[in-house]
Amino acid sequence: MSDPEKWLANWRAAGAWSLSRHDLAKEGLLASAFLPTKAILNCAKELKEANFSLLDLSALETQEGFVVTYHFDSLNEPGRLAFRALVPHKKPHLPSLYDVFQGAEWHERETADFFGLIFDQNPNLIPLLLADDHYGPPPLRKNPADLAPLKKLGLLGSFEILDPDFGALIGEDSQKESQS
Amino acid sequence: MAASKKLLTPPPPPKAKSWVEPPLINLKPVNWFFDVNRAMSLWPITFGLACCAIEMMSASMARFDIARFGAEVFRPSARQADLMMVTGTVTKKMAPVLTRLYEQMPAPKYVMACGNCAISGGPFKFEGQYGVVEGVDQLIPVDVYVPGCPPRPEAILEGVFKIQEIITGHRFWPEPREMA
């Protein structure tokens, strides 16, 4: 079993906004974290060096912005990890993982298709599944009235908030460690 | 001599970009002979888009054996085919490919829309859908519609009979008892 504490410590050092511990049997994850967008690339590199593979990359629209989730699985031992990034609606830019995991290119193109996110260093950010002449807003964007707050989505497991601004954004107290 | 030369020389191409050459010897029994030959050796293009293609494969295999009716030579090149079975959902991404393949087929050519997706969009026709062409007849002319989701191999065979009927004006095979 991969050691989640080691990775949680790594992410804490990388400036994570929040850290979560999950029940592998129930949620399929050992640990996850919200990372600032500028830390994503380095954390992915660390995981790559520890022989992790990128399982998938997907987005979810919430009231606070897009939650982009990166799932990783170890090729050596069981145990999945994930980290997430919160991207604001107004400026949906993210770094591309293409330099670390080449296969991320396709996932990023798909996410860009459906949510209109922009992956900055992706070398080939053209529509993957949509037609080239697709007209209109990205198809999986929701009405602002239909969006759910991030807190209600059950992404966080048992979590601790490290960044007070992030805590204020999702409406959680950053001081105490809480159970959701 | 002059008359037979006139009969055997094809006329100069008209100014339009595409045209169908008139028959070399324009006599009714000769044309009928060629039509029957054509109908008994339809060459479909190997073109499967979704689950209906599985039924097309089944129709071409030993149990249903489309070879009994002369349509077993599935060609991998559009330039050698004269029947296009549109088997499956036509997405907007695939639409340019489909029209190009149709245009590459030499005339006379026939199109069979197999299954509800190719006929009207089928289960993918709903308000707000962004990826599916609602009926292949919006792109290319269709001769025979074979409904079903997916159609049984017998239905695909019946579609082939219908195309043979369009070509020759005659149904060569006995009608199944349930249909009669």
pLDDT of residue B26: 85
DSSP string, chain B: -HHHHHHHSPPPP-SSS---PPPSS--HHHHHHHHHHHHTT--BB--B-STHHHHHHHHHSTTT-GGGGT----BSSGGG-SEEEEES--BTTTHHHHHHHHHHSPSS-EEEEEHHHHHH-GGG--TT--SB-S-GGGTS--SEEE-SSSPPHHHHHHHHHHHHHHHHS---SPPPTTT-
Domain count of chain A? 1
**Substitution target from B89, B90, B92, B97 for chain A, most A beta carbons within 10 A:** B92
B58 near A CB under 8 A: no
Indicate whether A62 belongs to any domain.
yes
Whether the predicted pLDDT of A112 surpasses 70: yes
Indicate whether A122 belongs to any domain.
no
Among A97-101, A168-172, B7-11, B152-156, the least confident range: B7-11
Q: How close does chain A come to B92, measured CA to CA in Å? A: 6
Indicate whether A138 belongs to any domain.
no
**Substitution target from A130, A135, A141, A146 for chain B, most B beta carbons within 10 A:** A130
Categorize the per-residue pLDDT at A180 as very low, low, confident or very high, splitting at 50, 70 and 90.
very low
List chain B domain ranges: 44-167
Indicate whether A119 belongs to any domain.
no
Higher pLDDT, A172 or A152: A152
Among A60-74, A166-180, B41-55, B79-93, the least confident range: A166-180
Mean pLDDT in chain A? 87
Whether the predicted pLDDT of A29 surpasses 50: yes
pLDDT of residue B178: 75
pLDDT of residue B110: 94
Q: What is the CATH number of the domain that holds A51?
A: 3.30.460.80
Residue span of the structural domain in which A14 resides = 4-89+156-169
% of chain A beyond a pLDDT of 70: 95
Residue in B closest to A141 by C-alpha:
B128
The matching CATH number, chosen from 3.40.50.12280, 3.40.50.720, 3.40.50.300, 3.40.50.1370, for B44-167 is 3.40.50.12280
Indicate whether A58 belongs to any domain.
yes
B130 near A CB under 8 A: yes
> Which ipTM score applies to this complex?
0.70
pLDDT of residue A109: 92
Indicate whether A118 belongs to any domain.
no
Residue segments in chain B with a per-residue pLDDT below the cut of 50 = none
Indicate whether A117 belongs to any domain.
no
Categorize the per-residue pLDDT at A164 as very low, low, confident or very high, splitting at 50, 70 and 90.
confident
Categorize the per-residue pLDDT at A68 as very low, low, confident or very high, splitting at 50, 70 and 90.
very high
A128 near B CB under 8 A: no
Which chain B residues touch A139 with a CB distance below 8 Å? 130-131
